[in-house]
Amino acid sequence: MSISLAYLFNWYPQPSLTALRREITAVEDLGLSPHRFTLRPFKGQLVDENDLAEREKTRAALDAGVLRFLQSTLKVALGRPRAFARALRMAVRVGRVDERGLVRNFIYLSEACLLLGWMNELGIEHIHTHYGTNSATVAMLCRLLGGPTYSFTMHGPEEFDAPRGNCLREKIRHARFVVAICEFTRSQLYRWADYHDWSRIHVIHVGVSPMFLKHGPAPIPAAPRLVNIGRIAEQKGQAVLVQAAAQLRDRGVDFELVIVGDGPMRGEIQHLIEQHNLRERVRITGFLSNQGVLDELLAARALILPSFAEGLPAVFFESLALGRPVVTTYIAGHPELIEVGVNGWLVPAGAVEPLVDAIAEVLKAEPAVLEKMGQAGAQRVAEQHDFHREARKLIELFESAR
């Protein structure tokens, strides 16, 4: 008999969580029927039909209302006083080191009480969440209240910016297991976990979407077009990329750069494009559907992602699966997938000149050279990031969590 499973998110669904949505789909394909819960509903625009479908399947805690939160909290406090006291102590402990403070963590405790009721109603045996932040806190508190076992997947880098504030040591200790998306992420968890809890941490790669994997490598276009895909934010390095684009233009290099995504720095990046007179060469599309991302990758010679901080971005797998080399930075898990001269280029994070040089190499390379690199990348992705193979590993851990 399959384990009764729930997924818990902080904000879900949303455009930047397509890899997480694909994981749920793979788990379903392999026979489980996970319930979806989110602490807060995503209020932004959803453009992908799969995200729209997920929204209909997802129950949001915040939609329950203040009265329901108060009722749930009182019910647990009176019905399970010892467990409630244990969870309350943990909420206070987390709140004292968490930059969000005590009040926010008391809210997480109330959300855990509400979640506990839902889990009991549905007979949920295990909760899985992604990222070691808010949703992992709620899952841990729910467990301390007497709820299901829990696990979480760590991506990085945000969780590692404040490991003590996120109480990673406690979350790992109380979890049945923890998933790291790459060896780098596991190494960072080793830093903050008790040595005796290291055995709880397992590497399971993010799977690439079948629509990318099945498409396979495609011919490299002759047009000097490049694409950047990701959330437009400081750590993704688009500001450095626009500076590099200006230097390429000044060198007399012909190119077109498409930035796919949205985020808090979109206005600043658009201003930089205007400031450097790059309107005719650089444009921002906003978020696109999976098909839109696939089309933009196929139209480009390479993916350019000069991030300062990452785990291991899913867009790497999508790009390589389509036979597009990757230009990125020597950080985090990037060298685990991107090999210089084999399937891409690695440059120092934040350095403009090396990025300019690498992009110039992409633009002057013969399509046959880039296609050979893309094929090597596609083979590596097929070996390490198969959608269902990685999901099977995860399901084995779920089943062991009973």
* Tens digit of each residue's pLDDT, the chain (402 residues): 689 999 999 999 988 788 899 899 999 999 999 999 999 998 888 878 889 999 999 999 999 999 999 999 999 999 999 999 999 999 999 999 888 889 999 999 999 999 999 999 999 999 999 999 999 999 999 999 999 999 999 998 888 888 888 899 999 999 999 999 999 999 999 999 999 999 999 999 998 888 898 899 999 999 999 999 999 999 999 999 999 999 999 999 999 999 999 999 999 999 999 999 999 999 999 989 889 999 999 999 999 999 999 989 989 999 999 999 999 999 999 999 999 999 999 999 999 999 999 999 999 999 999 999 999 999 999 999 988 999 999 999 999 987
Give me the residue label for tokens 């000044």. 250
As a whole number of angstroms, the distance between CA 400 and CA 207 comes to 21
Structure tokens at 384: 């390490």
Tell me if 377 sits within 8 A of 343, measured CB to CB: yes
Q: What is the pLDDT of residue 175?
A: 98
As a whole number of angstroms, the distance between CA 345 and CA 363 comes to 13
Q: Which DSSP helix (H) or strand (E) runs through 329?
A: strand 326-329
Angle at 291 between CA 269 and CA 274, to 5 degrees: 15
Q: What is the pLDDT of residue 268?
A: 98
As a whole number of angstroms, the distance between CA 190 and CA 178 comes to 11
- All structural domains of the chain: 5-207+386-400 (3.40.50.2000), 210-384 (3.40.50.2000)
Structure tokens at 33: 């029927």
Give me the residue label for tokens 């394909």. 29
Provide the residue type at 151 as one letter: S
As a whole number of angstroms, the distance between CA 378 and CA 383 comes to 9
- DSSP state for residue 340 in the 8-state scheme: B
As a whole number of angstroms, the distance between CA 238 and CA 254 comes to 19
